[in-house]
Amino acid sequence: MQILVTGGAGFIGSHLVDALLSQGHQVLVLDDLSSGKVENINSAATFKQMSITDENLVTVLMDFQADAVYHLAAQKNVRTSLQNPKFDAEINILGSLNLLQAAIEAKVKKFIFISTGGAIYGETSSLPTDEKHFEQPLSPYGLAKLCFEKYLQLLSQDKMSWSILRLANVYGPRQDPQGEAGVIAIFLDNILKDLPLKINGDGKQTRDYVYVADVVSAAIKVLASEKNDIYNIATSTEKSLLDLADTLQKITQKDFEIIHQEAISGEVRRSCLSAEKFQTQFSWQAEHDFTTGLSLTYKWFQTRL
């Protein structure tokens, strides 16, 4: 198939591109390189440096004759979205809408949107949280992701099939430890630089950490599906920051210092998603347990330095 991957120079997108190419698909990566890196892009893919907000997007899709679109390009910084909600909406709502309209015009058959679980469900006492749980975004980032989910369902009717994947906290090789990155990338970077690990509050806040290869295998499985639906992609297991630091200590065998900082007000205390629906319908399972995924990620960070 001819497949367009927006955000294909980024962390998750570049792994997805590798997997699609290995299955024999033709891949066009569309990325403005605002946080992605050229070195992440598989040389067998075609690369177009362009923003999803660009009005010439439809020409790109038509020239490429895309059969399917994976949409991962995003302004993904929650703090930026709180400081500048308009900027966030310009990329995550209007840019995504621009892409969706172009895909419909170019007669794309399948649209897969990479969304978020934690930022959409917000604080909830129903754990692991399933897809039926009401949405309660706590940031413009989560709100914009939810908003585009609704646009996708509304505008694609009878025109193309779609899947929405709400990811838990993804980690793995190529995750950028700079800026507001995933905590695992930041911790590993600090450990390798002999810097202390900074934990906000007591460290008992939990997340559902899913390894990037498991996210990619889920994303590949929905490509052929004609059932339009929303799925959580997660391990359905809660890990606290203290659990994370403890496992990293065992894997790295390093005696790093942990500094507790002031808790962040408004931070979600516990987050864990139920992936039962996806597991049942697609015979999928997150195959990397926490220790295995972290060991692989640590090895990659070691080679990177």
Residues carrying an active site annotation: 141
Cβ proximity of 6 and 112 under 8 Å: no
Residue among 68 and 73 whose Cβ is closer to ligand NAD: 73
From the CB of residue 102, how many other CB atoms can be counted at a distance below 10 Å? 23
Residues in CB range of 87: below 8 A, 6 or more apart? 75, 80, 81
Our finding on whether 233 is near ligand NAD (CB under 6 A) is: no
Cα–Cα distance, 168 to 165 (Å, whole number)? 10
172-194 burial, b for 16+ CB within 10 Å, e for fewer? Answer: bbbbbbeeebbbbbbbbbbbbee
Our finding on whether 278 is near ligand NAD (CB under 6 A) is: no
Residue among 7 and 137 whose Cβ is closer to ligand NAD: 7
Our finding on whether 203 is near ligand NAD (CB under 6 A) is: no
Shortest Cβ 32–ligand NAD spacing (Å): 4
- Which residues partner with 261 through β-bridges? 200
Cα–Cα distance, 132 to 153 (Å, whole number)? 16
Q: Using the rule CB under 6 A, which residue among 128, 137, 173, 182 binds ligand NAD?
A: 182
Our finding on whether 51 is near ligand NAD (CB under 6 A) is: yes
Residues in CB range of 178: below 8 A, 6 or more apart? none
Our finding on whether 114 is near ligand NAD (CB under 6 A) is: yes
Cα–Cα distance, 39 to 242 (Å, whole number)? 33
Our finding on whether 11 is near ligand NAD (CB under 6 A) is: yes
Our finding on whether 144 is near ligand NAD (CB under 6 A) is: no
Our finding on whether 120 is near ligand NAD (CB under 6 A) is: no
Stretch that binds ligand NAD, among 20-28, 68-76, 132-140, 248-256 (CB under 6 A): 68-76
Residue among 9 and 28 whose Cβ is closer to ligand NAD: 9
Residue among 199 and 215 whose Cβ is closer to ligand NAD: 215
Stretch that binds ligand NAD, among 19-27, 165-173, 216-224, 283-291 (CB under 6 A): 165-173
Our finding on whether 10 is near ligand NAD (CB under 6 A) is: yes
Element spanning 250, H or E: helix 241-252
Residue with tokens 């917000």: 122
Which residue type is seen at 145? K
DSSP string, 188-209: HHHHHTTPPEEEETTS--EE-E
Q: Using the rule CB under 6 A, which residue among 3, 4, 5, 9 binds ligand NAD?
A: 9
Our finding on whether 208 is near ligand NAD (CB under 6 A) is: no
Our finding on whether 34 is near ligand NAD (CB under 6 A) is: yes
Please report, as ranges, the residues that interact with ligand NAD according to CB under 6 A.
Answer: 6-7, 9-13, 31-36, 51-53, 72-76, 91, 95, 114, 116, 167, 169-170, 182
